[in-house]
């Protein structure tokens, strides 16, 4: 699927941050762009000028190493100045290699130690249910991340408490840090797994903005169940030299030539 100008714009912001830091999780961030685009452009309720607004929707980027994409959207929406993206991973920057709660407006949880985002989201969604608040909670998790047992403990709890305001979107790019998920620890049948844990489940092309928007408009899929959305994506999407290549999961020592090659792909 071809990228439109909005998707290219966000990727340019990410490349700018990569140029500033000369390192980062390029592959892991690019598979996320359209997922977070639809969430921030079409679904989530938030107030950049009031980041702790009590009725805001909560987004937890559980795969915290994909934070470049989160930072790009937070800057785009006005949570902090866009120029600050260029400070990524500098010693005094608020923009670290993983997002930190309390350091940057719009970040709802410190993540990157994988497998904890859904557990935190269950607590937030359960609090909303007890307090009769209307905010929704969304978790974006990596496919390799859901090897973690804590994810499935949280899933059982979400189902038990019928947390229909909770949605997990799985960035299913089918590669983790050192190889294909099928070889490291096969996740299939992934849809059946989430259904067996009591979730309403849908699959979608994670780069198809229209399909993502249409699906999110239907949430919750079941008024008595949490939702799992399996987003089929491409690691490194938008950069042919990096797509589906685990060696681009993370890169250090990026050169001016690397940055130029990335920018060429976004013309």
Q: Render pLDDT for 108-117 as a digit per residue (tens, 0 to 9).
A: 999 989 999 9
Q: Tally Cβ neighbours within 10 Å of residue 34.
A: 27
Q: Is-contact 241 261, C-beta < 8 A?
A: yes
CATH code of the domain in which 63 resides:
3.40.50.970
Counting the structural domains of the chain, the total is 1
Give the separation between CA 20 and CA 56, rounded to whole angstroms. Answer: 31
- Cβ count near 177 (within 10 Å): 15
Range of the domain at 192: 5-265
User: Rounded to the nearest 5 degrees, what angle is found at the Cα of 218, between the Cα atoms of 217 and 223?
Assistant: 135
Q: Is the pLDDT of residue 182 over 80?
A: yes
Locate 95 and state its tokens: 């923009």
The percentage of residues in the chain with a pLDDT greater than 70, rounded to a whole number, is: 100
Check: CB of residue 75 under 8 Å from CB of residue 13: yes
**Residue 100 burial (C-beta neighbours within 10 Å; 0-12, 13-18, 19+):** middle
> Token digits for 53?
């607004």
Please report, for residues 89, 145, 160, the alpha-carbon distance to residue 184 in angstroms, rounded to integers and kept in the order given. 29, 12, 30
pLDDT, one tens digit per residue, over 135-181 is: 999 999 999 999 999 999 999 999 999 999 999 999 999 999 889 99
Supply the mean pLDDT for the chain.
96
**Residue 68 and residue 88: Cα distance in Å, rounded?**
9
Extract the tokens encoding 61.
Answer: 């980027």
pLDDT band, residue 75 (cuts 50/70/90) = very high
Q: Tokens standing for 13?
A: 């912001």
Give residue 28's pLDDT band: very low, low, confident or very high (50, 70, 90): very high
Question: What is the residue whose two structure tokens read 């998707």?
Answer: 7
Q: What is the pLDDT of residue 118?
A: 98
Tell me what pLDDT residue 112 has.
Answer: 86
Q: Report the SS3 class of residue 66.
A: helix
Which tens digit of pLDDT belongs to each residue from 31-47?
999 999 999 999 999 99
């Amino acid at each position: 699927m071809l990228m439109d100008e909005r998707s290219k714009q966000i990727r340019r912001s990410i490349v700018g941050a990569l140029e500033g830091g000369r390192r980062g999780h390029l592959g892991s961030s690019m598979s996320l762009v359209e997922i977070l685009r639809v969430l921030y452009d079409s679904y989530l309720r938030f107030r950049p000028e009031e980041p702790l607004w009590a009725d805001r929707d909560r987004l937890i980027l559980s795969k915290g190493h994909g934070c470049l994409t989160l930072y790009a959207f937070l800057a785009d929406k006005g949570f902090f100045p866009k120029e600050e993206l260029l400070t990524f991973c500098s010693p005094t920057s608020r923009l670290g290699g993983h997002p930190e709660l309390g350091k940057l407006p719009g970040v709802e949880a410190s993540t990157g130690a994988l497998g904890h985002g859904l557990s935190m989201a269950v607590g937030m969604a359960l609090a909303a249910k007890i307090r009769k608040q209307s905010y929704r909670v969304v978790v974006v998790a990596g496919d390799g991340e859901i090897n973690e047992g804590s994810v499935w403990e949280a899933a059982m709890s979400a189902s038990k408490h019928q947390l229909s305001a909770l949605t997990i979107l799985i960035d299913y790019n089918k590669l983790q840090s050192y190889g294909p998920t099928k070889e490291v620890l096969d996740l299939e049948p992934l849809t059946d797994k989430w259904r067996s844990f009591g979730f309403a489940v849908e699959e979608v092309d994670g780069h198809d903005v229209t399909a993502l928007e249409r699906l999110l408009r239907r949430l919750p899929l079941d008024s008595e169940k949490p939702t799992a959305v399996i987003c089929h994506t491409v690691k490194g999407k938008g950069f042919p030299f990096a797509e589906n290549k685990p060696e681009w999961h993370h890169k250090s020592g990026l050169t001016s030539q690397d940055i130029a090659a990335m920018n060429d792909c976004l013309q």
